[in-house]
Chain A
């Protein structure tokens, strides 16, 4: 006897994501899920960006790492609420674990929660955490072929960060090929070349985040994919 089931394999974790999304909508808080390889510059960018935007937006940060509190400690000079989550080996944040982070931040008045996912270009893209949008990050030192090799993330991301542009003279990152590969995901998401060391390019990212927040508060869901 065959029984049609047609249930999403990740529906259980998806239920946590659904609740988070509902909470965030109720509170008018934007959540972005930042995904990039280990060392691509996620924490460094978040620190610089949040410092630059501190008079415009109130940020909270949730950081996922397999182990350690190191990244959370790097935010202490900023005096913003930060939660470090340790996955204990898992290669990605799950919606269930990330919910603990949102609960720990709940007592703060925030505009934006930035989630830094576990350094990894593949697995984190599989898991919806309840965010409004995913951001991809690739540093120029990693090579322009990343969107071709890890299609799911680049397919889903609502914006792409190209980091460490100060290293351009030392590596052979071909921007045309990178843009062509992003084009081939079938939808147009903005690309933000940045250098977290000098702050170059961060204003554009902040404007984009502010626009997303505004859209969300006006009831226009920013959505996972910019054009969907």
Chain B
């Protein structure tokens, strides 16, 4: 259940970003999480709903964008998606000499603010 550590990180970043824009409240927050990070969206949302009470995120809509694993093949230069994160094969030639382009990120992508009132 390392999702708690992630929720904690999201809360911390939101408090900091929110404090930079006094007179506003957070209506939405978008996270971008690569599939390789093994985050369980339901667990994350459950903990997020507990943690956000009485914080800047109290009224924020959470968007969890789980990103696929994308690789670049060093053999045939193809770019493409990997269906099964445990099997990092080139979608074109099937080779394993691939480089991950995305899929292991864990970001607060954006925050949506509205003026108070």
Binding site for B on A (CB under 8 A): 1-13, 90-92, 94, 122-123, 126-127, 147-149, 151-152, 154-155, 181, 183-186
Contact = CB atoms under 8 A, between A and B. Distances in A.
A126 B37 contact: yes
Interface in B68-117: 71, 85-89, 96-100, 104-114
Interface in B12-50: 12-13, 17, 21, 24, 31, 33, 36-38
Given A12-B12, A155-B85, A186-B96, 6 more contacts: A4-B109, A11-B13, A148-B87, A152-B36, A152-B104, A155-B36
A6 B107 contact: yes
Interface of B: 1-2, 4-6, 8-10, 12-13, 17, 21, 24, 31, 33, 36-38, 71, 85-89, 96-100, 104-114
A2 B113 CA distance: 6
Contacts of A154: 86
A185 B97 CA distance: 9
Chain A interface SS verdict (over half): mixed
Contacts of A6: 107-110
A9 B111 contact: no
12 contacts: A1-B112, A3-B21, A5-B111, A7-B13, A9-B9, A90-B2, A90-B4, A92-B5, A127-B5, A149-B86, A181-B86, A186-B98
A5 B13 contact: yes
Contacts of B112: 1-3
Nearest to A186: B88
A117 B1 CA distance: 15
A186 B21 CA distance: 43
Contact of B9 (A2, A3, A10, A123): A10
A184 B87 contact: yes
B82 to A, nearest CB: 9
